[in-house]
Amino acid sequence: MSDFTVELKIAEKGEVRTVREEAVRYLGYGKRSLDEFTEKMTADCEKELLEAVNARCCYARTKIEFPRNNVVDIGFGEIESHDLFTHLQGCYGAILFAATIGIGVDRLIAKYSRIFPAKSVIIDALASSAIEYWCDKAETEITKNIEKHCSRFSAGYGDFPLSFQKDFVNCLDMTRKLGVTLSDSLLMTPTKSVTAVIGLGAESRTCDNKCMRCTNKHCIYRST
Amino acid sequence: MNILEKIKTSITYFDGGMGTMLQERGLAPGELPELWNITHPDVIIDIHKAYLESGCNIITANTFGANRLKFDNLEEIISCAVKNAKAATSEFDGDRYVAYDIGSLGKMLKPLGDLEFEDAVSLFADGIKIAEKSGADLILIETMNDSYETKAAVLAAKENSDLPIFVTCVYDENAKLMTGADPAAMAAMLEGLGVDALGMNCSLGPEQMIKIVPKLVSETSIPVIVNPNAGLPKSVNGKTVYDVDAEAFSDYMVDIVKAGATIIGGCCGTTPEFIRKTVEKTKDLPFKLPEKKNNTVVSSYTHAVKVGSVPILIGERINPTGKSKFKAALRENNLDYILNEGINQQDAGADILDVNVGLPEIDEVKMMVSVVTELQAVSDLPLQLDTVDPTAMEKSMRIYNGKPLVNSVNGKPESMKAIFPLVKKYGGVVIALTIGTAGIPETAEGRYEIAKNIIDEAEKYGIDRCNIIVDPLAMTISSDIRSANVTLESIRLIEQRLGVHTSLGVSNISFGLPNRDFVTSTFFAIAMQNGLDCAIMNPFSFEMMKIYHCYKALRGMDENCGEYIAYASNITASNTSTVTESKKSASEDSSDPLMHAIIKGLKEKAGSVAARLVKENDPLKVVNEQIIPALDTVGKGFEEKTVFLPQLLMSADAAKEAFEAVKAALTGTDQPSKGTIILATVKGDIHDIGKNIVKVLLSNYGFDVIDLGKDVPPETIRDCAVENDIKLVGLSALMTTTVPSMEETIKLLRESGMGTKVVVGGAVLTQEYADMIGADHYAKDAMETVRYAESIFEEK
């Protein structure tokens, strides 16, 4: 049995930031810019959000094999998914990755949804950009000595079954390490959390545009 | 010697890591270690024995993840685990004990997650009953990230066994749990619940834990447990390596004992070698338990508030007495209004929030539970639970995430009999009113006597006097001019003779007088000078807050007058008198100022302009000619993508203020409602931001909304629709996995034969999905839901 080490990384204060352009896009502005008033409110929200952020990630390396068509063996279980199978072609291994920006963010959004809905949607959008930023940053660091790797591929993308969230939570010890829990319907709390597989040894051919990986062709946030 | 005697007389040792040792012996990643109790008992017994040989006293049975969510054969798993542990201890002499090990359920509790508090209690209870029956010596609740889940586990232990309870939580380097609690908050809650030892484990190595130990030792009077990791895990050449070795670990543990921990061991990455060296180096160190603290302290899920050094402000505004708007909110189940009152008081400077939701015509028990549940999710202030209904008190103390302030007990036997057992069981600081069987004594001496009697009686229940705050009652001077003096004298007597802290509902003092704040705030100043520790007061009162900040600065409680300067620098001449009429809006630059205010999303202005307009005009005309057209302008802008979501919501909020003003003018006559709509995020889905947006818009377009919340079962939605004869239901779902429960809900609604229309929306929804599950309409955004609702209700 190969060794399986789950490593933990806790973000320093100030290490996570928001990506304004992304948040503005999530809010439906597309490429238009904010008016002055919303701009100011967004700046206030940003400050409050970053105060509430408690970002962590954990990850472990594993071998992968492709025993049959459309099946990926990740060392301790098989996943049946055509899209994941395609995405990981040529990889010898993978990093199982999970990240969160913490439950304080959920509380903040819940609070404003009760007293100031406009702020709650802005913070929600900023928080979505922050978790993406944190994932990107952590991924860059984790993979810095690895010659070739794919971008993140999450359960729920394409036909990669969401039920795999259970395995993520178990094998990465996510509740203990990140405080991330799973609801009966496989949603993570804190809500601004991400799990993903990062293939090692090849550059994936399917992943340059995140939106293109998604099967929801009618999504209003779809970037192209 | 039993374990409770043992921990009070000498350093007690826990074992070290189990997971890493099992992995070495072949446990695969993702495999459940608890199954090995059945499949590999010899391995488990061997590991326990290795730890016992290293000198530890307590071995933790291999039950960390054993709960009903993961295992159908729970009884077998736990009984085997305890049996294995006992098989190991039976071979050793000396003080050896078996701990039933409880870890997190891996679920977040409501309202942030989807697990009911009581379900958590019962999941923990299942395992505890089996463990006690199997012969465990104590219960170890460990690696807890969340104070709320910890409380559920402790209650389950108290209610289902007589075993000693030890609790350790996971702190980060900033000495906080991932869900926010600091050591003082955890110590307050856990000691209040009556656990036998508390501390920390996992996540950090011993070096980082050394800094946190004093924070625990200085806040608690019971033994402190420290079980660190062997540093942090790293993968080196494909092998797991922790960065602190046994030698260094045990050196740190010497310092940890010197800092005041008396129960020590290891967590992830530690092995029998770590424990052996730790025992060798620490066994002859002086044994010293934490001193008894006698602090009067309450807590929230993040922090503790200590009574005594600085006056504590208890916000009194969550209370329907004399507030028609608040009463209406209770009747309409309008939690948002109530939560707003809470958050605004926090922003105004309250330290604790009083929660009183008693109204004869509502179900107080239910309301108390929902307000406390929701309030503690959005505010981090400790709560003062204020009810005369013992059931409401018990239920709310039970689900409270921390150690509450309990309002109140009095000197009548029946009151003490009802309240003291609750304080003993759930923990809390209780406000003791000096009311006896014969009422409120007119003299300070008489009130002191009652206070003394209450404290003596509490002692019989095992409640320490530090958990009692006496309220010697402020009575209005308008009916008896001596009453303030009696109250002040009572404060002095009670504090001097009984050594307890005091609280007052200060505003009673001015009842019946004009400009009451003048009198109340002056009395507040005198009372603080006489030793008053807490005031139940109105944090929105300018006079009260002024006195409070000045008093603290004058009495040397405000370093460099920092708080005073921050407060007073923002006060302008126009603020300094609260008795003037609210000023006219500064810039009424538009010919239709209300429309302008709504379109621009200016909430206060919209409210004040509307209030003025409805005095001069027919309120319904204001709605139809100003509010609705303004909302339409914004709505069209949103549809044409010139106005975006934040602005849409700002405008909706402004319109809401305007509607409030109109409603106030219409009291007694017909209120403008276009119809009633149910909204819900369907079963299994805990994302409600989209549904909340729709709710805001619908209510500001004049619809009444019954918001059933998130994760709502199909039956609840159907029942509510039938009961209220609902024409339109809006369902929201974020994830594809929850679309089936949307379908199920629609099916039930159809079967009820009501002809209710269903509009669906949410991130994953598409027209195709909507058609597939049989919805009447798919709305791509909130505005479209409004348009659809309008079309449905116009049809009639």
φ, ψ dihedrals at A8, nearest 5°: -115, 140
Read off the amino acid at residue A29: Y
Which residues of B fall within a CB distance of 8 Å from A7?
A: 232-235
Which residues of B fall within a CB distance of 8 Å from A74?
A: none
Give pLDDT tens digits for B67-89.
999 999 999 999 999 999 999 99
Give pLDDT tens digits for B722-761.
999 999 999 998 777 778 889 999 999 999 988 999 999 9
Residue A147 is assigned to a structural domain of this protein: yes
What pLDDT, on the 0 to 100 scale, is given for residue B270? Answer: 96
CA distance A100 to chain B (A): 11
B672 touches chain A (CB under 8 A): no
For the cut 60, the answer to whether the pLDDT of residue B581 exceeds it is: no
Give pLDDT tens digits for B700-723.
888 889 999 888 999 999 999 999
Read off the amino acid at residue B131: A
- Average pLDDT over every residue of B165-171: 97
Give pLDDT tens digits for A167-176.
999 889 999 9
Give the H/E segment covering residue B428. none
Tell me how far the alpha carbon of residue A204 is from its chain's centroid.
17
Token digits of residue B625:
């000619």
For the cut 70, the answer to whether the pLDDT of residue B580 exceeds it is: no
What pLDDT, on the 0 to 100 scale, is given for residue B303? Answer: 96
Q: How many CA atoms lie within 13 A of B651 on its CB side?
A: 29
Domain count, chain A: 1
For the cut 90, the answer to whether the pLDDT of residue A20 exceeds it is: yes
Domain range for A73: 19-213
| Distance between start and end Cα atoms, chain B | 79
* Mean of pLDDT over chain B: 92
Provide the chain A residues 26-55 that lie in CB contact (below 8 A) with chain B. 27-30, 32, 35, 37-38, 41-42, 54
A62 touches chain B (CB under 8 A): yes
Note whether B693 contacts A169, CB cutoff 8 Å.
no
Note whether A183 contacts B340, CB cutoff 8 Å.
no
What pLDDT, on the 0 to 100 scale, is given for residue B669? Answer: 55
Provide the chain B residues 532-571 that lie in CB contact (below 8 A) with chain A. none
Note whether B646 contacts A107, CB cutoff 8 Å.
no
CA-CA distance, A216 to B763, in Å (whole number)? 9
- Average pLDDT over every residue of B412-425: 97
CA-CA distance, B544 to B539, in Å (whole number)? 7
Handedness of CA B325, B326, B331, B337 (dihedral sign): positive
Instruction: Walk me through the domains of chain B, giving residue ranges and CATH numbers.
Output: 3-282 (3.20.20.330), 296-576 (3.20.20.20), 593-666 (1.10.1240.10), 676-795 (3.40.50.280)
Residue A224 is assigned to a structural domain of this protein: no
What pLDDT, on the 0 to 100 scale, is given for residue A23? Answer: 93
We report the CATH number of the domain holding residue A78 as 3.40.109.40
Q: Give SS3 for A96.
A: strand
Residue A36 is assigned to a structural domain of this protein: yes
Residue A3 is assigned to a structural domain of this protein: no
- Which single residue is written with the structure tokens 């009311």? B435
A191 touches chain B (CB under 8 A): yes
The two beta strands, B197-201 and B224-227, are parallel
Note whether A184 contacts B235, CB cutoff 8 Å.
no
Which among A123, A43, A183, A14 is positioned nearest to B649, based on CA atoms? A123
What pLDDT, on the 0 to 100 scale, is given for residue B100? Answer: 98
What pLDDT, on the 0 to 100 scale, is given for residue A209? Answer: 59
Note whether A76 contacts B31, CB cutoff 8 Å.
yes
- Average pLDDT over every residue of B571-597: 58
Nearest to B233 among A7, A30, A103 (CB): A7
Note whether B233 contacts A170, CB cutoff 8 Å.
no
Read off the amino acid at residue B617: N
Q: Who has greater pLDDT, A207 or B53?
A: B53
Give the DSSP per-residue string, B503-516.
Answer: EEEGGGGGTTSSSH
The lowest-confidence range among A82-86, A211-215, B22-26, B351-355 is A211-215
- Average pLDDT over every residue of A40-46: 94
Residue A222 is assigned to a structural domain of this protein: no
Give pLDDT tens digits for B188-228.
999 999 999 999 999 899 999 999 999 999 999 999 999 99
Give pLDDT tens digits for A66-114.
999 999 998 878 899 999 999 999 999 999 999 999 999 999 999 998 8
Give pLDDT tens digits for A159-197.
899 899 999 998 899 999 999 999 988 889 999 999 999
Note whether B235 contacts A61, CB cutoff 8 Å.
yes
